[in-house]
Amino acid sequence: MEVQYDVPSRLVLIRHAKAEAGGSSDRERRLSSRGEADARALGRWLDEQGLRPDRVAVSPARRARQTWELAAESQDWPRPVIEDAIYDNTVPGLLEVIRASPADVRTLALVGHNPSMGALAEALDGTRAHDFPTSAVAVFTVAEDWAAIDAATSTPVGFDVPRG
């Protein structure tokens, strides 16, 4: 599906790629080999869609950081900002990160976890529930400043699950 954009600001919600099960701590779980391939596919998909983020906010969890590192490895994209609020895995926490973004950011990407990524996509869409599997990407245009984001100011324009 090709993504169409009508306004300059875009929000890209990304669930981290497939992680290995278990491990010593949740924050330190690594991507599985499938997750690594899917993260690279995610980067190709973003590039094909012309989605070059100006700002990337990532959960401090290793699997989220790895997802962005592999997605961005062949791109000239910005270094991510690590945001603890994304790891907290709540819609209010994600909205806090979005609303605090600088006004000059035109494309903002968040890399995090479910259930908050799917719940935020559903809240911003306002019309349908999103199944948000690993590596899922939801794209919204945003008609107002980041500080005013809600269902009335955002429009869903794309959804995909890139696989490697």
Helix (H, G, I), strand (E, B) or coil at 34: helix
Q: Which of 49, 69, 50, 42 is nearest to 58 (CA)?
A: 69
Whole-number pLDDT of residue 128: 63
Instruction: For each of the domains in the chain, give its residue range(s) and CATH number, in order of start.
Output: 9-160 (3.40.50.1240)
Q: Strand ranges (DSSP E) for the chain?
A: 9-15, 55-58, 81-82, 107-112, 137-142, 154-160
Structure pTM?
A: 0.93
Q: How do residues 132-143 score in pLDDT, each as one tens digit?
A: 999 999 999 998
User: Hey, how many other C-beta atoms are within 10 angstroms of the C-beta on 9?
Assistant: 22
47 CB contacts (<8 Å, ≥6 apart)? 75
Q: How do residues 90-109 score in pLDDT, each as one tens digit?
A: 999 999 999 999 999 999 99
Dist. CA 40–CA 72, nearest whole Å: 8
Region 1-27 average pLDDT: 80
Residue 6 pLDDT greater than 60, yes or no: no
Helix (H, G, I), strand (E, B) or coil at 119: helix
Residue 18 pLDDT greater than 90, yes or no: yes
Q: How do residues 32-50 score in pLDDT, each as one tens digit?
A: 999 999 999 999 999 999 9
CA–centroid distance for 6 within its chain: 20
Report residue 148's pLDDT band, with 50, 70 and 90 as the boundaries. very high
Considering Cα of 35, then 12, then 78, then 43, what sign does the dihedral take? positive
